[in-house]
Amino acid sequence: MKLRVIGLLLLLFPLLAWATPLKPGHDAVASAQPFATQVGMQVMAEGGNAFDAAVAVSAALSVVEPYSSGIGGGGFWLLHDAATGKGIVVDGREYAPAAATATMYQDKNGNVIPDGSLNGPLSAAIPGEVAALVYINQHYGKLSLAQDLAPAIKLARDGFPLDRRFHEMLASRADKLKQWPAAWKVFYPNGQVPPEGYLLKQPDLANTLELIARHGAAAFYTGALAKQMVDAVRAAGGIWSLDDLHDYQIKLRTPLTGDYRGMKIITVPPPSSGGIVMLEALNILSGYDLAQDSELMQKHLVIEAMRFAFRDRAEYLGDPDFVRMPLQRLLSPYYAAGLRASILPDKATPSNELAPVTPEAPESQHTTSIAVMDGSGNLVGGTFTVNFRFGSGFMPPGTGVILNDEMDDFVSKPGVPNGFGLVGNSANEIAPHKRPLSSMMPTFLYTRRGLAILGTPGGSRIISMVLLGTLNYFNGGDAQSIVSLPRYHMQYLPDVVFYEPGAFTADEITGLGKMGYTLKEIHPYGNMQSITWDYRSGKVSAAADPRDIGTAEVK
Ligand code: DON
C-alpha cells in the first residue's frame, strides 16, 4: 500500500514540479542609498522575505535619505505575494487634517499664498508611512517589526557617514531648515552644513523608531509621541489634531492592471494619477506599431500620448474616496482610439488651444523608490516621499521626524499650478481627510520573456519616466537600460517638451521643432530603481539610476 502511494507520488512529481511557479532563486534590492540597499540584503540573508526587506529599506531610507522620504511622509507600496499569486497596493498616502479647507492656501483676495503649502507645519498632511510599514510587516513579513526596524534604528543611533548627495541637499536647503530649530539642530551641527563623511547621528529619530518597533503603529498615531507632534505642529501655526492622527488608516487598493500589446502592467490606482495616466498613454500608443516608425515619429507619438493623458489628469483625477472619476472611460480602448485619431502625423497639438498656459515645473530631487525581490518570487515596488526636499522642513522637537509638505499636491486654487507645475480642479481640491493626488507609481511588468519592477521619484515626471521605462522593457530592455535611458517629458501644461541631454538627436530636435514643439533641455532628472528577471536564462538584474548615488545588489 505504502509503496503504491510512493509510486503515485513519484509519477506525479514531474507534474507537481511543472505546476509550481518559477522562482527567481535570487534576492535583489535596488534603492537610492547604498546603506539602505545593504540593509535590505542583510534582512533577507537573515531569513526575512522581500516584504521584510521592503519595510527595512523604507525605514532605513527615513534615516539615510530624510530629504526624500521618511516616517513623517507617505507613499505607495505595490506587493506581489508569490504564495498566493496575489497583488495589492498598500496606500500609505498622507491625508489632509480635518481642519483643512479648500481655500486654506489663499489670502483674502483669493490669491495663492506663495510657500503656504510648501513650508512649515501648515503644509504637512497626516503621515501614512508608519501605518503602511507596520501593516506590511504584520501581514506579509516573516520577521518581527523589531527585526525589520533594527537596522534603521542602528543607523540613526550610531550614525553613518554623510554621502555627497545628503551634503548637497543640506547645502541647498539651509535657508528653509534654519526656520525650524529642531531640524536645524539635527542636520546642521555647529550651525554649519556638515562635510561629506561626517558621522551623522539622529538619536531622537532612533528613539521614535524604537518606540514604533516596540509598540507598533499605535506608538506613532496615539499616546505621548502623537501629542508631542500635535502640540509642536499647532504651536508653530499648523492645524493637526490628535484625532487626525488617531483616525489615520492605510487603504488597501486593488492594483490597476493594463495591457500593452501583450505585456501585462500592474501599477498604482488613484489616489495616484500615475497608473491611470500611463495606461491611457499606453492605450493610445498601442494602436501604432512603434517599432515600424522612425525614431522621430515614435517620440512625436509618445509626447502626444503624454499630453492627452496629462490633460485628463488635470480634469478628472483625485482621491477615489471623495470624487467620482470616469476611469472606465479614460481606460477604454475606444476612448484611446478617439484621441489617437486626433493626433496629426506631422504636427504637435497645441495645449494652449485647450486651456491657459501655466509656468514650468521647477527642478526637483527628493522622494524615493525601491525595488525588492526575494528568491521565492515575492516582489515589492515602493515609491514614498515627504514631497519637496526635507518636506515642510518642520521637525516636532524631540521626535527626529521631518514632516512632509504633501498638502502642495492638492489644488490650492483651480488653474493655479502647484510645485510641479501641475494644474487641476475640484476633483483634487482640499477636503478634510482627503488624500492629495499623487504621481507615484511603482509598477510591475510581465511579458513572456520575464518580469520587471520599476519606479522613480520626480513629481509629475514620474509618469513619463515609468512610461519610457515600460516601453524600453517591452522592446527588450533590462534593469540597467530601464534606469539609464535618456528621458523626455510632456505634461499638457506647460506646452513644453522637457528633455535630458542625449534624449533627442540633433535631427530629432530639428524634426520636432518643425512639427511645432517647444523643446527645453534640462538637467538629468529622476532616480529610478529597477529589477528584472529573465525567465529563460534565469538571470536576475538589479540597477540603480546612474544619475544618483543609489546601489543595487543581487545574491
Ligand atoms: O506624490 C507625488 O506625486 C509627489 N509628492 C512626489 C514628489 C516627488 O516625486 C519629488 N521628486 N523629485
Question: What CATH number matches the domain at 256-362+441-554, 3.20.20.60, 3.40.30.10, 3.60.20.40, 3.40.50.410?
Answer: 3.60.20.40
User: Mean pLDDT of all residues in the chain?
Assistant: 94
- Ligand 1 within 6 A of 120 CB? no
Q: Which single residue is written with the C-alpha cell 539602505?
A: 36
17 has a pLDDT exceeding 80: no
Residue 284: what pLDDT? 98
Who contacts 116 (Cβ-Cβ below 8 Å, separation ≥6)? 104, 105, 122, 123, 412
Mutational pocket test of ligand 1: of 386, 440, 487, 523, the residue with most ligand atoms within 8 Å of the beta carbon: 440
Beta carbon of 460 within 6 Å of any ligand 1 atom: no
| Helix spans in 30-73 (H) | 34-45, 50-64
Decide whether any atom of ligand 1 lies within 6 Å of the 418 Cβ: no
Q: Is 365 in the pocket of ligand 1 (CB under 6 A)?
A: yes
Predicted pLDDT at 10? 43
115 vs 472: which has the higher pLDDT: 472
Point out the ligand 1 atom lying closest to the alpha carbon of residue 456: 9
pLDDT at 363 over 70: no
Per-residue H/E/C for 345-413: CCCCCCHHHCCCCCCCCCCCCCCEEEEEECCCCCEEEEEEECCCCCCCCCCCCCCCCCCCCHHHHCECC
The CB of 440 under 6 Å from ligand 1? The reply is: yes
The letter for the amino acid at 112 is V
Distance 458 CA to ligand 1 centre (A): 6
pLDDT at 480: 98
Q: Any bridge partners for residue 454, and if so which? A: 443, 530
368 classed as catalytic: no
Spacing, Cα 507 to ligand 1 middle (Å): 33
Q: How many angstroms separate the Cα of 149 from the Cα of each of 52, 134, 154?
A: 9, 10, 9
**Alpha carbons 314 and 316: distance in angstroms, whole number:** 6
What is the tens place of the pLDDT at every residue in 69-126? 999 999 999 999 999 999 999 999 999 999 999 999 999 999 999 899 999 999 999 9
Domain boundaries, the chain: 29-250+365-428, 256-362+441-554
Q: Supply the pTM of this predicted model.
A: 0.94
Gap from CA of 406 to ligand 1 centroid (Å)? 9
- At 262 the pLDDT is 97
Residue 409 near ligand 1, beta carbon < 6 Å: yes
Residue 293 Cα, ligand 1 centroid: separation in angstroms?
A: 33
- Per-residue b or e along 482-493, where b marks 16 or more CB atoms closer than 10 Å to that residue's CB: bbbbebbbbbbb
From the CA of 75, give the closest atom in ligand 1.
Answer: 1
Is the Cα torsion angle 254, 256, 259, 262 positive or negative in sign?
negative
What's the pLDDT at 353?
A: 72
Q: Can you give the pLDDT at residue 311? A: 92
pLDDT of residue 354: 61
Mutate to test the pocket of ligand 1, among 65, 69, 385, 407 (most ligand atoms within 8 A of CB): 385
Confidence of residue 21 (pLDDT cuts 50, 70, 90): low
pLDDT for the residue numbered 527: 97
- Residue range 183-226, pLDDT digits in tens: 999 999 999 999 999 999 999 999 999 999 999 999 999 999 99
Give the other-Cβ count within 10 Å of 345's Cβ.
Answer: 9
- Quote the percentage of the chain above a pLDDT of 90: 90
CA of 84 to the centre of ligand 1 (A): 31
Per-residue b or e along 284-321, where b marks 16 or more CB atoms closer than 10 Å to that residue's CB: bbbbbebeeeeebbbbbbbbbbbbbbbbbbbbbbbbbe
Alpha-helix residue ranges (DSSP H) falling in 113-163: 129-140, 145-158
Taking only the tens place, the pLDDT of each residue in 37-73 is 999 999 999 999 999 999 999 999 999 999 999 999 9
Specify the ligand 1 atom closest to the Cα of 525: 12
